[in-house]
C-alpha cells in the first residue's frame, strides 16, 4: 500500500519536474524513472519531454534516453526504440560527437527499415544528412537526402519532405558552391520544397526555406530576387510572431545589398540584425554581424570603422572559443565527479538497505501514519493543481481573445495597405511616357510641314483620345476589357503612321468580354515594346497579336510579335530590367489585393531559341467580372 501511494505521488509531481529546473538531481530523476510505468503511452510521453528539454541538461537527457531504450527493448516496442535512438543521436550531434551520433542514427534506421516505418526513416535520414553537413561531408549528405525523398513517397509526413528538398539544395551548394548549374539546381529544389511547405501551410518551414532561397539568389547574382523573397519572408515572420528568426534574416538582407554594392544600406540592416542577435542571446550570429559590417566599411574605404568591427568580431569569437574550451574541461570534471558520486551512492544504498530492514521491524503504526500523511499531501496537491489549472486556463482564454483582436486589426490594416499600394502602382504605371508624347508631336509636325492637313487632324484626334483615356484611367483600379481593347486599337492606329508597311494588329478575346474587368495600362507597355524593338521595318508582313483567354479563375494574356526576337546572350538584360521588375511587383500586388497567392510562372518572356522568330509575353491576372 505504501508503494502504491508513493507511485501516485511521484506521477503527480512529475509534470512539475518537467518545467524549468525539473528533475534537479540524478537521484530524483532515477526515482521517477524507476517508479514509472513502461507502457507505450508512458514511454512516448517521456520521449516527448526528452526532445523538449534544454541542451544544457545533456546528462539528464542521456539518462532518460537510455532508460527508454532499455524499457522499449525489453517490451519489444520497436517504434519507440527507433525514435529514441534518433533523439539520442541528435544529442551527441549537438555535442559534436560524430562517431556516437552516427552509431545511434544507424541503429535507428535499421530498426525503422526492418519494421516498415517510413515516417521515422524520413526523420532519421534527415538527421543523418544534417550530421554530414555539420562535419563537411556534403556528398554523403546528398545521398541521405536523396534516399529520404525516395522513402518520402511512402510517408505521410509531407511537411518534412519540403524541408528535405531545401536541405538537399543546401548540400548541393556545400558541394559545388561556385558552379552555376548547381546553383540553378539548388534554386529549383528549394522552390519545390517551398511549394510543398506552402500547400501544407507550414509557416516555420516556409520561413526556413525562403531564407535558404535568398542565399541561393545571392550566389546566382540576383540580389533583387533575394530581396523580394526576404521582404515576403519578413511579412511571415512578423505576422506569425516568430521574431527569433530575425536574427538571421537581416544578415541575408545585408548580404543582398552587398551583392548590389550598396554597402551603406547593407550596414543599416546589419545594425538592426545585430540588435536581434543580442536580444535573443546569439553570440555566434553577433560576431557574424561584426565581420560583415567590417567588410562593408572596408569596401567603403572607412578603415577606422572596419578595424573597430573587426576587433569586436575577434573579441566575441575568442570569448565563445574560451567558453567552449571551459565547457569541455568542465564536462571532463563532471564525468569524474559523477563516477565518484555513483560509487558513493552504491555505498549509501548498501547502508540504506540495512537501515530499511531495521525500520520494517518498527511495526504497522508508523506505516499507517505515513499513508495518512501521503494521502493528505496528494489531496492538497490535487487541489492546488486544479486551482492552478483553472487560473491558467482563464488567463490563456483572455490572452487568446486579445491576440484574436490584434489579428483582426492587423488583417484590416494589411488589407488597406494592399489596396493603397495597388492604386499607387496602377497610377504610376498608367502615366503616359514623355518620349511617346515628344515623338508624337514630332510626327505631327512633319505632317504640318508637308501640308498633310487630313493626317495632321487625324493624328491630333488620336493623340487627344489617347491622352484623355490615359488620364481618366489612371484613377481607376480596373476598366472594362472592351474599353481597354478600344484604347489599344487607337494606340496601334496612331503608331501605324511610323511604318511604310502596315503592322497588322490581331485581337482574340473571350465571348463574355463585355463583363470582364482588367487593370488599366497593363497590356500597352508590351505592345509599345514590340513596336519599338521588334524591327518591323525589316519584315515583309509584320504583326502584333493580342490573345486573351479565361483559364479557370485567371485571365491569361499573351502579346506575340513576329519581329527579330531577343538575343539569348542578352537575357540578363531582361532579368535585370527595372520595368519588368515593376510589372512583376504590380502583378503580385494584384494577386495579394484579390486575397490570393500568385500562381507559378505568372509572368514569362518567350523568345529565341524556343521561338523561331519574334517574342511572346505571357502573364496572368486574377479574373474579375463586372457585377
User: Domain of 501: which CATH number?
Assistant: 3.30.565.10
Per-residue pLDDT reduced to its tens digit, 545-595: 999 999 888 999 999 999 888 876 665 545 556 677 778 888 888 888 777
Confidence of residue 389 (pLDDT cuts 50, 70, 90): confident
Q: Is 603 helix (H, G, I), strand (E, B) or coil?
A: strand
What is the structure's pLDDT at 354?
A: 66
In 521-622, DSSP assigns E strands to: 543-551, 554-561, 603-606, 615-622
- Please give the grid coordinates belonging to residue 376: 493528505
Note whether residue 339 is domain-resident. no
490 and 524 in contact (C-beta within 8 Å)? no
Percent over 90 (pLDDT), the chain: 21
Q: Which three cell numbers stand for residue 131?
A: 550530421
- The residue that leads in pLDDT, 197 or 373, is 373
Angle between helix 303-360 and helix 283-300 axes, rounded to 10 deg:
180
Confirm whether pTM is higher than 0.75: no
**Grid coordinates of 82:** 527507433
Phi, psi torsion values for 558, nearest 5 degrees:
-125, 135
Distance in angstroms (rounded) separating the CA atoms of residues 469 and 463: 10
Is the confidence at residue 451, as pLDDT, over 80?
A: no
Identify whether 161 is part of a domain. yes
Task: For residue 135, give every residue at least 6 positions away whose Cβ sits within 8 Å of its Cβ, in sequence order, or none.
Answer: 98
Residue for grid cell 553570440: 283
- At 624 the three-state DSSP class reads strand
Structure confidence at residue 17 (pLDDT): 41
Cell of 291: 565581420
Q: What is the mean pLDDT of residues 523-544?
A: 88
What SS3 class is residue 186?
Answer: helix
Same domain, residue pair 98 and 219: yes
Same domain, 407 and 543: no
- Of 32-36, 275-279, 444-448, 566-570, minimum mean pLDDT range: 566-570
One domain, residues 503 and 413: no
- On the question of pLDDT at 374 being above 50, the answer is yes
pLDDT one-digit tens code per residue, 215-255: 888 888 899 998 999 999 888 888 888 888 888 899 999 99
Query: Higher pLDDT residue, 57 or 141?
Result: 141
How far is residue 491 from each of residues 207, 495, 496, 610, measured CA to CA in Å? 45, 6, 9, 29
Rounded Cα distance between 131 and 349, Å, is 41
Helix axes 98-114, 118-134, angle to 10 degrees: 160
Same domain, 518 and 423: no
Q: What are phi and psi of 624, to 5 degrees?
A: -125, 140
* Phi, psi dihedrals of residue 292, rounded to the nearest 5°: -65, -40
Confidence of residue 81 (pLDDT cuts 50, 70, 90): very high
pLDDT score recorded for residue 542 = 93
In this structure, the strands spanning 554-561 and 603-606 are unpaired
φ/ψ (deg, to 5) at 567 = -65, 120
Flag whether 46 is in a domain: yes
Residue 549: per-residue pLDDT? 93
| Phi, psi torsion values for 603, nearest 5 degrees | -145, 125
601: left (phi over 0), alpha (psi -120 to 50) or beta: left
Question: Nearest Cα to 30, choosing from 346, 359, 385, 378?
Answer: 346
More confident residue, 319 or 436: 319
Among 7-11, 73-77, 85-89, 278-282, the minimum mean pLDDT is found in 7-11
Q: Where are the alpha helices (DSSP H) in 220-362?
A: 223-239, 246-259, 263-279, 283-300, 303-360
Task: Give me the pLDDT at residue 569, please.
Answer: 66
- Among 145, 149, 110, CA closest to 128: 145
3-state secondary structure of 26: helix
Compute the chain's Rg from CA coordinates: 34
Comparison of pLDDT for 29 and 605, the residue scoring more: 605
| 82 in a structural domain | yes
* Burial of 564: CB neighbours in 10 Å, binned 0-12, 13-18, 19+: middle
> Confidence class of residue 4 from pLDDT cuts 50, 70 and 90?
very low
Given CA atoms 16, 19, 20, 26 in this order, what sign does their dihedral have? positive
Q: Could you give phi then psi for residue 559, rounded to 5 degrees?
A: -120, 115
- For residues 128 and 219, state if they share a domain: yes
The verdict on 409 and 546 lying in the same domain is: no
Q: Please report where in the chains the cell 516556409 appears, as a residue.
A: 206
CATH of the domain at 151: 1.25.40.10
- What is d(CA 269, CA 255) in angstroms, rounded to the nearest whole number? 9
Q: What is the mean pLDDT of residues 372-388?
A: 89
Burial class (CB in 10 A: 0-12, 13-18, 19+), 237: buried
Question: Which one of 177, 211, 239 terminates a domain?
Answer: 239
189 and 87 within one domain:
yes
- The region of weakest confidence among 26-35, 204-213, 418-427 is 418-427
Q: Is 173 contained in some domain?
A: yes
Q: Are 182 and 172 in contact (CB under 8 A)?
A: yes
Residues 507 and 597 in one domain: yes
The burial of 567, by beta-carbon neighbours within 10 Å (0-12 exposed, 13-18 middle, 19 or more buried), is given as exposed
- For residue 57, pLDDT over 60 is answered with yes
**Residue located via cell numbers 545521398:** 143
Helix (H) or strand (E) segment spanning residue 422:
helix 364-429
- Count of structural domains within the chain: 3
Tell whether 503 and 418 lie within a shared domain: no
Task: Choose one of 239, 270, 303: the last residue of a domain.
Answer: 239
In this prediction, residues 455-479 reach a mean pLDDT of 84
Q: Which residues pair with 557 in a beta bridge?
A: 548, 619
Same domain, 94 and 173: yes
CA gap 63, 50 in Å, rounded = 10
Does 407 lie in the same domain as 521?
no
Q: Is the pLDDT of residue 416 over 70?
A: no
Same domain assignment for residues 532 and 404: no
pLDDT band at residue 172, thresholds of 50, 70 and 90? confident
pLDDT for the residue numbered 489? 92
User: What is the distance between the alpha carbons of residues 383 and 188, in angstroms, rounded to a whole number?
Assistant: 57
Distance, CA of 483 to CA of 480 (rounded, Å)? 5
Which comes out higher in pLDDT, residue 614 or 399? 614
- Does the pLDDT at position 321 exceed 80? no
| CB-CB contact of 561 with 534 (8 Å) | yes
Distance separating alpha carbons of residues 244 and 399, to the nearest angstrom: 21
Q: Which of 239, 267, 291 is the endpoint of a domain?
A: 239
Mean pLDDT of all residues in the chain? 81
The pLDDT tens digits for 22-40 are 444 566 777 888 888 778 8
Phi, psi (5° rounding) for residue 551? -125, 100
Q: How far apart are CA 317 and CA 314, in angstroms?
A: 5
Share of the chain above pLDDT 70, in %: 81
Domain-embedded: residue 518? yes
Q: Which domain holds residue 532?
A: 497-625
Would you say residue 16 has pLDDT above 70?
no
Strands (DSSP E) along 514-623, which ranges? Answer: 516-518, 543-551, 554-561, 603-606, 615-622
In a domain, 108, yes or no: yes
In a domain, 349, yes or no: no
Query: In the predicted model, is pLDDT for residue 6 greater than 50?
Result: no
Distance between CA atoms of residues 550 and 134, nearest Å:
50
Q: At 414, is the pLDDT very low, low, confident or very high (cuts 50, 70, 90)? A: low
Amino acid at each position: 500500500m505504501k508503494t502504491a501511494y508513493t507511485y501516485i505521488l511521484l506521477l503527480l509531481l512529475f509534470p512539475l519536474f518537467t518545467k524549468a529546473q525539473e528533475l534537479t538531481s540524478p537521484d530524483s530523476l532515477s526515482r521517477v524513472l524507476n517508479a514509472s510505468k513502461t507502457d507505450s503511452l508512458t514511454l512516448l510521453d517521456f520521449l516527448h519531454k526528452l526532445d523538449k528539454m534544454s541542451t544544457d541538461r545533456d546528462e539528464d537527457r542521456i539518462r532518460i534516453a537510455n532508460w527508454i531504450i532499455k524499457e522499449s527493448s525489453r517490451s519489444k516496442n520497436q517504434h519507440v526504440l527507433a525514435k529514441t535512438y534518433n533523439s539520442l543521436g541528435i544529442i551527441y550531434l549537438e555535442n559534436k560527437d560524430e562517431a556516437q551520433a552516427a552509431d545511434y542514427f544507424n541503429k535507428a534506421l535499421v530498426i525503422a527499415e526492418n519494421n516498415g516505418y517510413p515516417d521515422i526513416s524520413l526523420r532519421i535520414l534527415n538527421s543523418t544528412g544534417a550530421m554530414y553537413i555539420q562535419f563537411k561531408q556534403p556528398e554523403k549528405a546528398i545521398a541521405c537526402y536523396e534516399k529520404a525523398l525516395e522513402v518520402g513517397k511512402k510517408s505521410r509526413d509531407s511537411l518534412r519532405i519540403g524541408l528535405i528538398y531545401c536541405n538537399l539544395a543546401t548540400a548541393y551548394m556545400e558541394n559545388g558552391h561556385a558552379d552555376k548549374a548547381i546553383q540553378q539546381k539548388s534554386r529549383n529544389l528549394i522552390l519545390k520544397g517551398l511549394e510543398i511547405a506552402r500547400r501544407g501551410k507550414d509557416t516555420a518551414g516556409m520561413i526556413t526555406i525562403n531564407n535558404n532561397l535568398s542565399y541561393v539568389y545571392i550566389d546566382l547574382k540576383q540580389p533583387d530576387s533575394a530581396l523580394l523573397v526576404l521582404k515576403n519572408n519578413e511579412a511571415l515572420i512578423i505576422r506569425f510572431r516568430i521574431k527569433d528568426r530575425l536574427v538571421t534574416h537581416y544578415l541575408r538582407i545585408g548580404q543582398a545589398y552587398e551583392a548590389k554594392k550598396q554597402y551603406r544600406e547593407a550596414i543599416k540592416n546589419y545594425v538592426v540584425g545585430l540588435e536581434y542577435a543580442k536580444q535573443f542571446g546569439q553570440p555566434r550570429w553577433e560576431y557574424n554581424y561584426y565581420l560583415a559590417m567590417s567588410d562593408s566599411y572596408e569596401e567603403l574605404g572607412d578603415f577606422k570603422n572596419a578595424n573597430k568591427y573587426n576587433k569586436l568580431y575577434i573579441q566575441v569569437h575568442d570569448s565563445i572559443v574560451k567558453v567552449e574550451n571551459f565547457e569541455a574541461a568542465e564536462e571532463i570534471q563532471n564525468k569524474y565527479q559523477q563516477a565518484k558520486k555513483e560509487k558513493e551512492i552504491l555505498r549509501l544504498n548498501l547502508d540504506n538497505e540495512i537501515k530499511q530492514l531495521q525500520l520494517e521491524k518498527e511495526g504497522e503504526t508508523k506505516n499507517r501514519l505515513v499513508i495518512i500523511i501521503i494521502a493528505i499531501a496528494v489531496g492538497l496537491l490535487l487541489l492546488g493543481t486544479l486551482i492552478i489549472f483553472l487560473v491558467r486556463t482563464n488567463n490563456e482564454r483572455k490572452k487568446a481573445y486579445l491576440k484574436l483582436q490584434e489579428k483582426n486589426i492587423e488583417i484590416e490594416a494589411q488589407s488597406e495597405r494592399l489596396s493603397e499600394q495597388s492604386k499607387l502602382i496602377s497610377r504610376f504605371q498608367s502615366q503616359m511616357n514623355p518620349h511617346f508624347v515628344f515623338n508624337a508631336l514630332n510626327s505631327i509636325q512633319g505632317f504640318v510641314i508637308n501640308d498633310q492637313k487630313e493626317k495632321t487632324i487625324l493624328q491630333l484626334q488620336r493623340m487627344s483620345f489617347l491622352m484623355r483615356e490615359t488620364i481618366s484611367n489612371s484613377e481607376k483600379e480596373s476598366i472594362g476589357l472592351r474599353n481597354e481593347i478600344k484604347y489599344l486599337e487607337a494606340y496601334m492606329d496612331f503608331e501605324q503612321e511610323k511604318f511604310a508597311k502596315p503592322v497588322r494588329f490581331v485581337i482574340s478575346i473571350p465571348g463574355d468580354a463585355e463583363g470582364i474587368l482588367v487593370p488599366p495600362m497593363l497590356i500597352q507597355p508590351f505592345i509599345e515594346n514590340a513596336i519599338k524593338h521588334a524591327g518591323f521595318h525589316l519584315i515583309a508582313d509584320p504583326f502584333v497579336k493580342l490573345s486573351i483567354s479565361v483559364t479557370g479563375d485567371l485571365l491569361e494574356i499573351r502579346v506575340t510579335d513576329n519581329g527579330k526576337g531577343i538575343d539569348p546572350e542578352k537575357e540578363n538584360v531582361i532579368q535585370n530590367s527595372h520595368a519588368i521588375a515593376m510589372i512583376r511587383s504590380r502583378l503580385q500586388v494584384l494577386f495579394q489585393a484579390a486575397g490570393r497567392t500568385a500562381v507559378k510562372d505568372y509572368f514569362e518572356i518567350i523568345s529565341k531559341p524556343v521561338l523561331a522568330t519574334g517574342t511572346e509575353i505571357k502573364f496572368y491576372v486574377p479574373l474579375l467580372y463586372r457585377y
